[in-house]
């Protein structure tokens, strides 16, 4: 069994597509009309046949309070891996992306948290290089 699709609930599918492609750098994979909405997925350019991120409409009544509670508590909905959190933070900040948590090292992981403009907090994370003299 493999993961083929993961979802993120978005307030506006077109706005989300613009943000996830022009700011975060994902690529459009599928855009299929489904009634009033779309089966809209993006993928990493480095893994075009990998896991697809479904930009899912936030239409279910449970979604809005769920998303609002996560944001109010500062909890990211998803986490995306990057090679260098500081470099990605600087690149995205220059593109106007708003971060709610600047890069911070937490043990072996460095993270930062951004606002995706569609009702979610998203974490970017990278494993830190081992400290000199420690086991990998």
pLDDT value, residue 130? 67
Structural domain containing residue 49: 5-127
Mean pLDDT score, 48-53: 97
Instruction: Give 135 or 63, the one with higher predicted confidence.
Output: 63
Residue 91 included in any domain:
yes
* In the block, residue with structure tokens 């072996």: 108
Residue 66 included in any domain:
yes
pLDDT value, residue 97? 98
- pLDDT of 136 > 60? The answer is no
Q: What does the alpha-carbon distance between residue 42 and residue 19 come to, in Å, rounded to a whole number? A: 11
% pLDDT > 90, the chain = 93
- Per-residue pLDDT of 67-95, as tens digits, reads 999 999 999 999 999 999 999 999 999 99
Residue 136 included in any domain:
no
Residue 135 included in any domain:
no
Residue 49 included in any domain:
yes
| CATH number of residue 26's parent domain | 3.10.180.10
Tokens of 21: 């492609």
Number of folded domains that form the chain: 1
- pLDDT of 133 > 80? The answer is no
Q: What is the dihedral of CA 32, 34, 36, 38, to 10 degrees?
A: -40
Compute φ and ψ for 65, nearest 5 degrees. -65, -35
Residue 13 included in any domain:
yes
Residue 134 included in any domain:
no
Residue 133 included in any domain:
no
* pLDDT range class, residue 128, cuts 50, 70, 90: confident
Q: What does the alpha-carbon distance between residue 119 and residue 96 come to, in Å, rounded to a whole number? A: 16
């Amino acid at each position: 069994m493999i993961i083929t699709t993961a979802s993120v609930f978005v307030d506006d599918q077109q706005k989300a597509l613009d943000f996830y492609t022009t700011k975060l750098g994902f690529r459009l994979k599928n855009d299929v009309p489904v009634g009033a909405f779309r089966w809209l997925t993006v993928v990493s350019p480095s893994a075009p046949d990998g896991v697809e991120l479904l930009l899912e409409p936030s239409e279910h009544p449970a979604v809005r309070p769920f998303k609002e509670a996560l944001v109010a508590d500062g909890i990211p909905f998803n986490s995306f891996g990057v090679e260098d959190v500081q470099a990605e933070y600087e690149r995205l900040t220059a593109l106007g992306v708003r971060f709610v948590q600047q890069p911070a090292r937490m043990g072996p992981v460095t993270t930062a948290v951004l606002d995706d403009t569609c009702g979610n907090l998203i974490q970017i994370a990278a494993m830190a290089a081992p400290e000199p003299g420690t086991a990998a």
